[in-house]
Structure 1
Amino acid sequence: MSDSFAVYMRHGAPRYCRELECWIVTQYSDTRAALLDSRLTFAPLPIGAAPESAEWRDFAGSIYQWNALPTLAVPIVKEHLRPAFSLCRIEREGPWIHEIARHLAQSLVSQGGGDFKCDFSDSFAAEAVCHVMGLPQAAGRYFRYWMPGSTETHESSEQAVRLFRKEYAHAAHIRRLDLAGVSSAVHVDDRGCGDDSADDGVAAMAFTAFFMISSVLTTGMSLLLRRSRQLARIRRNPSLISAMVEEVLRFDGPEFFAPRIAASDVEISGKTIQGGESILLAQGLANRDPSAFVRPEVFSMDRTTSKALLFTGSPYSELCATMTRSSVEIAFEEFIGIMPNLHLAGEILSSNCRPVGNRVVQLPFRSH
């Protein structure tokens, strides 16, 4: 008999999940300690057989999505990609990111509205990532096929990554691709084939950055459109945008889980996790733990402490933190500033791949 999905999605001691063949950690104190434990290493989650029930299938689908990314090439990431996402780099590209957001927002104003996720979030994230990373804009077309959904999307996700790498390798073959002012160090042979590790690092970084930016933008706007008073506060005082983005990340951040594998035996709250076993650190639930946050179920821009567990899903997630925060703040500033009469224009559609919060897939709005 399969355990109920809800059994695992509550705060308590770690539990072993037979459906996913891994441990699930949900409490804030346990999750924070585990994230700092060097015995727990980054790794794609080796999920077992596809769960039978619909709730487990949708849930597992959101994890399969991340497993479509290439194997983590941590040394390549640290050496060649970190400078591309430095604060200095992002600040230098700020005017261009402003222009990307302004152009998209003005286009939607002329149309009277649209689908915020498809017409703004996804488009903005794709253009911003390609620009900052120095990638050909044509590569951005594949990002949209890599958004979380059911387990059936896993194949299309893998295909999207393969096509992206092909586009990137082709560009590098035509000219030595300058990755955000930093040599990509991709060796291209006579056939136009790049070094696999470097190509994988670029692909995983680009897809992760796109997902982070698009998700935070869409989730943030859906929260604001359902909270007119908080949206009005931001219009009166745009300096609140930074605090709002931090609360979006805590309340319903893009990464619900941080997958890890135990290199050796680890004890968490009296439970022994053996070396080689997989773990899902449920940071999305930990960020709503009442032992760590006052009224965690409430979306509030007035929190004075920022101790949410963020950007821990992979080395790529950590590198995306600065770009995600900066570009999302710019996008909100431009979008809300251009649309003073912004309001919801229909039902918000969400997928059921998360136990807490929403993965918004459609967000209709009107600009006047």
Structure 2
Amino acid sequence: MRIFLLASVNPFAPTASGVRSYVLALARELAARGEEVVVLGIGPQKFIVDGFEFVPVIDRISNAFQFALAAMRFARKHSNLRGIVHGQRPDDLVGFHLLAQHVPTLVTLHGAHGLVVLDRRGRVVGSMYRAVERYSLSRTRAILCVSPRTQAYFEANYPHLRDRLHSIPAGIDMDLFRPHDRDGARARFGMSEAARVVLFVGRFEQEKNPLDAMAAYFWVWERHPETRLVMVGNGKLASPLREWAAGTPAPVEILDSVSQEELAWLLSAADVLVVASRNEGLPTVALEALAAGTPVVGTSVGLLPDIVKPGVNGYLVDQISELPFFLERALCETRWATDRCRETVRAFGWDRVAPAVLEVYHEISS
């Protein structure tokens, strides 16, 4: 079976992206199982790595619309394509639905992206996206939802597509994301052994709420000056975050990006991962943190309410105003067991997730 994974990801540029992690890890896992895998994404050139082929449909983009257009041009040029096309957004598949209708398609929904578009771009653009989403989903043979909440949202909005919806979470590389030696991990990043380290990983965009995550850290730092914040990501809010951090004596380090290998070490170096998102599908980085033995403090988004158990592997808040108090509790009042954190996400290993995705591939191709 030939599988095309279509996504606006650039394997040459490490970024804090759950979708990027999902696509590249899925490609590696499928290739290891003997499948022929091609990743269609963003980059300067073709290459073969880890058993799969990468083919760029465009060399760079400044917005998601440009990638959707590039995918449409690819579909026109390769209208006789043979295989399955697996997209990560409904709008990216429109070109295949219009110009290569014989190709079976499926999409992974990493959350309710229409709500993100509405929040970022306003009602007019949000309505346009919803129309494209409706068109594309109605022509997609299978729809994978990364959490039960995501599935429930799309069942409510598209009840006629209920039979095509599958709840299959994103997988985690349990070998890569594992507990590393804490002292070695901290030495790797120049962190003091005595520091209490808060980590934020994600796009610096409104829906990820990095400003509230930083505000929660500052509240804790005023009471516990041994705390330190590390933020990994990029986006429109990068400048405000850096300006705010520069204007305070609290130790804050902001990194543009790190590789998956470095992220695994960074998660082991941290005392807690903070998630302040307004909307999420999973989020993937929270599962990776737990796999590394690091507890999570965050908002009740995506799959987190089904995974995070208070005092066992983290804390969740219903209101963002509660985040500072629970962050302090996690850092200063709770003893965490690394193995208990890791055990809570063992079911998300790719060894269990990939077979479920493959089963859907066989269903839609038969």
TM-score range, shorter chain: under 0.3
TM-score (norm 2): 0.26
More helix as a share of residues: 1
TM-score (norm 1): 0.26
